[in-house]
C-alpha cells in the first residue's frame, strides 16, 4: 500500500526579487516499508519538498501553488491544525538538514531526548530516561555524555542525537534530510543499519534525501533524481544505477571521485545550477546538457516524463526515440 503519494506538487517562494519556483509539479509515491532516495543538485528543491510534506513551510513567502499530498489516503494540504500536529508527532518524523538549529542550546542532550519520549509515550520519567540512555547507546554516544549541552558536541554527534530523537517515537514514515552527511562511514553504516532494522520491525517507510549515491545504493529500493524543482528521472535502484538514462543523472555519476582509480581531474557537469527565479525555457537542463545541441526541441519544448521501461520515468526529449531503441536493446517487443 502507498503510504505517501504526492501529485503534481508545486511550491513557490514570493520574494522581493521575484518568484522562486522551488518545487515545480513533482509527483512521487512511497510504499509501506519502502525507502525512496531523493537525490539532486543543491537548491533543486529537496528540502522544500520534505518541509512541504509536513506543511512546515512558512507561507508567505512560501505558497502551495497546486497539487496534493496524500498520507494514508488523506490530503495533508487539507488537514486541520490539530490533525496536522497529531500526524507530525506520532506518524511522521523528520530529521532536519541542519542539526545545529534543531537542538535547544540551553537543554542537555539527555533532557531533549527524554522530553520527546515523554511527550509521545506518556510513560514515567524513569522509563523515559531508561529509553533515552538506550537510544544514546544505539547511536553510539557514551551514556555519561547525556548531561552535556549541544555546544559541547561535534557536528556529527549532534546529528546522531537528532537521529535518536527522530527514531524515539517509532514513526511510520521517516523523512530524513541528509541524515548521514556529517558522519564517518562506520557510524553511517550503523545508523543505516538502525534505520533498516526499524524498517523490518515497524515497516517504517522512508524518504531519504542525500547527495550520496552510495548510501542510496545501500538503503533504498526506489530513487528520484531532482533538478531545478522537477523530478527528471525516477525508478528502481536498478533502473537508476544500471540503466541511467537522463543526461543529468549520468553527469552526477561521472562527478563522483572513484575510490579505485586515481584521476587527475574530476569531471563535474559543466556550468552552474540555473537561477531558480529565472529558469531556462524548454528542458531546464538544456544549457548544461552535452546532448542538447543536437536537438533544437530541448530549448523550445518542455519534455514530458517518458516511461522507458515499466516504472522507469525519464524527462528528456532524447527518450522519445530512445523508448523505441531501448525496447529493441532489451529485447522487448516494440
Partner 1 sequence: MAQLEVKHLMKYFKTPVGPLHAVDDVSFSIDSGKTLGVVGESGCGKSTLGRAVLGLNEATGGQILFEGKDITHAKGVLSKEMKRQIQIIFQDPYSSLDARMSVQQLIAEPLTATGICKGKAAVQKRVAELMDTVGLASRYMLSYPHELDGGRRQRIGIARALAVEPKFIVCDEPVSALDVSIQAQILNLMSDLQEERGLTYIFITHNLSVVKHISDDIMVMYCGCLTEKCECDELFRAPLHPYTKGLLSAIPEPSIHVERKRNLLEGEISSPINPAPGCRFSSRCPYAGDICRERFPAPQEACPNHFVACHFVNEINGL
Ligand X SMILES: Nc1ncnc2c1ncn2[C@@H]1O[C@H](COP(=O)(O)OP(=O)(O)OP(=O)(O)O)[C@@H](O)[C@H]1O
Give the residues lining the site for ligand SF4 (CB under 6 A): 246-247, 283, 285-286, 289, 291-292, 295, 298, 303, 316-318
Question: In the set 24, 48, 131, 188, which binds ligand X (CB under 6 A)?
Answer: 48
Q: Which does 48 bind (CB under 5 to 8 A by kind): Mg ion, ligand X, partner 1, none?
A: ligand X
SS (H, E, C) 296-333: CHHHHCCCCCEEEECCEEECCCHHHHHHHHHHHHCCCC
> Cβ of residue 209: shortest distance to Mg ion, in angstroms?
7
Backbone dihedral angles phi then psi of residue 135, each to the nearest 5 degrees: -65, -45
**Does the protein bind partner 1 through residue 130 (CB under 8 A)?**
no
Nearest one of 36, 6, 37 to 23, comparing CA atoms: 6
**Does the protein bind partner 1 through residue 134 (CB under 8 A)?**
no
332 near 320, Cβ under 8 Å? no
What residues numbered 50-109 form the site for ligand X, per CB under 6 A?
A: 61, 97
HSE (CB half, 13 Å, CA atoms) of 138?
Answer: 22
* Residue reference for cell 553511517: 188
207 vs 295 by CB, closer to ligand X: 207
47 vs 249 by CB, closer to Mg ion: 47
**Does the protein bind ligand X through residue 216 (CB under 6 A)?**
no
Question: In the set 268, 300, 325, 330, which binds partner 1 (CB under 8 A)?
Answer: 268
Point out which residues bind Mg ion (CB under 5 A): 47, 97
Residue 14 grid coordinates: 514570493
> Cβ of residue 165: shortest distance to ligand X, in angstroms?
17
> Cβ of residue 252: shortest distance to Mg ion, in angstroms?
16
| Sheet arrangement for strand 74-75 | 18-31, 2-15, 62-71, 74-75
Residue 174 grid coordinates: 521517516
**Does the protein bind ligand X through residue 247 (CB under 6 A)?**
no
**Does the protein bind ligand X through residue 210 (CB under 6 A)?**
no
On the question of a cis peptide bond just before residue 61, with omega within 30 degrees of 0, the verdict is: yes
What residues numbered 315-334 form the site for partner 1, per CB under 8 A?
A: none
**Does the protein bind ligand X through residue 12 (CB under 6 A)?**
no
Question: In the set 11, 37, 40, 309, which binds partner 1 (CB under 8 A)?
Answer: 40
47 vs 131 by CB, closer to Mg ion: 47
Long-range contacts of 71-76 (CB under 8 A, 24+ apart): 71/3, 71/4, 71/173, 72/3
| 3-class DSSP assignment, residue 189 | helix
Taking the C-alpha atoms of residue 312 and residue 234, their distance in angstroms, rounded to an integer, is: 6
Residue 327 grid coordinates: 525496447
Question: In the set 4, 9, 22, 165, which binds ligand X (CB under 6 A)?
Answer: 22
> Cβ of residue 234: shortest distance to ligand SF4, in angstroms?
14
Taking the C-alpha atoms of residue 333 and residue 325, their distance in angstroms, rounded to an integer, is: 11
Residue 133 grid coordinates: 540512555
Q: Residues interacting with ligand X, by CB under 6 A?
A: 13, 15, 20, 22, 40, 42-48, 61, 97, 151-157, 182, 276
Q: Residues interacting with partner 1, by CB under 8 A?
A: 15, 17, 39-43, 98, 100, 140-142, 144-145, 147-148, 152-157, 159-160, 178, 181-190, 193, 211-218, 237-238, 241-242, 251-253, 255-259, 262-263, 265-269, 272-273
Amino acid at each position: 500500500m502507498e503510504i505517501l503519494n504526492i501529485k503534481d506538487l508545486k511550491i513557490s517562494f514570493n520574494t522581493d526579487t521575484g518568484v522562486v519556483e522551488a518545487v515545480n509539479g513533482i509527483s512521487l509515491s512511497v510504499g509501506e516499508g519502502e525507502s525512496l532516495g531523493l537525490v539532486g543538485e543543491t537548491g533543486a528543491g529537496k528540502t522544500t519538498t520534505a518541509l512541504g510534506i509536513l506543511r512546515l513551510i512558512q507561507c508567505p513567502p512560501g505558497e502551495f501553488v497546486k497539487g496534493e499530498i496524500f498520507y494514508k489516503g488523506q490530503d495533508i494540504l487539507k488537514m486541520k491544525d490539530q490533525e496536522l500536529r497529531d500526524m507530525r508527532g506520532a506518524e511522521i518524523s523528520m530529521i532536519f538538514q541542519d542539526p545545529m538549529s534543531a537542538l535547544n542550546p540551553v537543554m542537555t542532550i539527555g533532557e531533549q531526548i527524554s522530553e520527546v519520549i515523554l511527550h509521545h509515550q506518556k510513560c514515567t520519567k524513569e522509563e523515559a530516561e531508561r529509553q533515552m540512555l538506550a537510544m544514546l547507546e544505539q547511536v553510539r554516544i557514551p551514556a555519561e555524555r547525556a548531561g552535556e549541552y549541544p555546544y559541547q558536541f561535534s557536528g556529527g554527534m549532534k546529528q546522531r542525537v537528532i537521529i535518536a530523537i527522530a527514531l524515539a517515537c517509532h514513526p511510520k514514515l521517516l523523512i530524513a534530510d541528509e541524515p548521514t552527511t556529517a558522519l564517518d562511514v562506520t557510524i553511517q553504516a550503523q545508523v543505516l543499519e538502525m534505520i533498516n532494522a526499524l524498517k523490518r520491525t515497524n515497516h517504517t517507510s522512508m524518504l531519504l534525501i542525500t547527495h550520496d549515491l552510495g548510501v542510496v545504493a545501500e538503503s533504498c529500493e526506489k530513487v528520484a533524481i531532482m533538478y531545478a524543482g522537477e523530478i527528471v528521472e525516477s525508478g528502481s535502484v536498478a533502473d537508476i544505477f544500471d540503466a541511467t538514462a537522463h543526461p543529468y543523472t549520468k553527469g552526477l555519476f561521472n562527478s563522483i571521485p572513484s575510490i579505485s582509480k586515481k584521476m587527475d581531474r574530476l569531471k563535474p557537469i559543466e556550468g552552474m545550477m540555473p537561477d531558480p527565479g529565472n529558469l531556462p525555457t524548454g528542458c531546464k537542463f538544456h544549457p548544461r546538457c552535452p546532448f542538447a545541441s543536437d536537438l533544437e526541441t530541448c530549448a523550445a519544448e518542455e519534455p514530458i516524463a517518458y516511461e522507458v521501461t515499466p516504472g522507469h520515468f525519464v524527462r528528456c526529449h532524447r527518450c522519445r526515440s530512445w523508448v523505441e531503441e531501448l525496447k529493441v536493446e532489451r529485447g522487448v517487443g516494440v
